[in-house]
Amino acid sequence: MKRIALACAAIVALTMASVAVAAAPSGNKISCEAECTLLSPNKALVNPGVGEYGAVYTENTVALGTPLSDISKLGFNYSGTEPYGGAPRISIGIDGPDAGSGYDAFAFVDAAGCNDGSGKVDVINDPTCTVWYQNVSYANWAAFVAAHPSPDYSVGYEYTFVVADAAGTWTIWNVQLGAKSRGGK
C-alpha cells in the first residue's frame, strides 16, 4: 500500500511539473486556425488529416515595412510526425517593389529542409536552411536577403505563421519573427 501511495505521489508531482513547463512562455503568444488546438499561450497541437491544414500564427513583432536584413529571429520549434511534403513550414509575407503596399508573395522554410535534428527551425542562424520564394530556392536566409535587398523588399504581412497541410500531428511552439535591436541595445 505504501508503494502505491508513493507511486501516486510521484505521478501527481510529475503531472504538476509538466503542466508548469507547458504553461511557461518561451516565445510569442500564438493563435490557432483550422486543425489546431492551443495547449498554452505559446504551444499548439496541429493535426491535419488528408486534405486538411492546421496553422499556428502570431502577430509580427516587427513593423510592416521592416527590411528583411533587419530580421534577427525567424523560426519555431516542433515535435511529432517526421516533417514531409513541406509540413510544417514557416511563412513570412514579403512586400517587393512590384506590389505596392502589402505583400506580393510568401517566403517559406519547411522543417524538412531546416532543422537542427532536435525539432528547432532557426532560419536566421542555421546556414543550411533553404528558403523558397516565388518558386526559387535560396541556400539560406543570407542568400535570400542578398537577392532581395532593402529597401525594395520588406515584411509585408502582419502575421507570421507555421502551417501544416500534410496529414500528421505536430506540437508547435516558440514561433518567432523579430528584428535586430536599434540604437546599440
For 67, 164, 172, the CA distances from 36, given in Å and listed in that order, are 31, 10, 10
DSSP letters of 122-178?
Answer: ETTT-TT--EEETTEEESSHHHHHHHS-TTTSEEEEEEEEEEE-SS--EEEEEEEEE
pLDDT at 178 over 90: no
Query: What pLDDT sits at residue 182?
Result: 44
Helix (H, G, I), strand (E, B), or coil: what is residue 1?
coil
Residue 90 bridge partners (DSSP): 109, 162
Which CATH number characterizes residue 154's domain?
2.60.120
- Residue 114 in any domain: the answer is yes
Tell me the residue type at 160: T
In a domain, 38, yes or no: yes
pTM of the model: 0.78
Query: Within a domain: residue 48?
Result: yes
Residue 5 lies in a domain: no
In a domain, 184, yes or no: no
Please, where are the H alpha helices in 24-152?
Answer: 141-147
Interior/surface letters 129-161, b for 16+ CB within 10 angstroms, e for the rest: bbbbbeeeebebbeebbeebeeeebbbbbeebb
Distance CA 170, CA 54 (A): 10
Q: Is residue 148 part of a domain?
A: yes
pLDDT digits (tens, 9 = 90+) for 84-125: 999 999 999 999 887 566 778 899 999 999 988 899 999 999
What pLDDT band is residue 180 in, cutting at 50, 70 and 90?
A: low
Task: Give the model's confidence band at 126: pLDDT under 50 very low, under 70 low, under 90 confident, else very high.
Answer: very high
Place of cell 530580421: 71
pLDDT in tens, 46-65: 999 999 999 998 877 778 88
Question: Residue 21 domain-assigned?
Answer: no
- Look up the domain containing 93 and give its range: 27-179
Burial letters 167-182, b for 16+ CB under 10 A, else e: bbebbbbbbbbbbeee
Average pLDDT, the chain: 80
At residue 162 the predicted structure's pLDDT band, cuts being 50, 70 and 90, is very high
Number of domains composing the chain: 1
Residue 121 covered by a domain: yes
What is the model's pLDDT at position 6?
Answer: 29
Which three cell numbers, joined as nine digits, stand for 15? 503531472
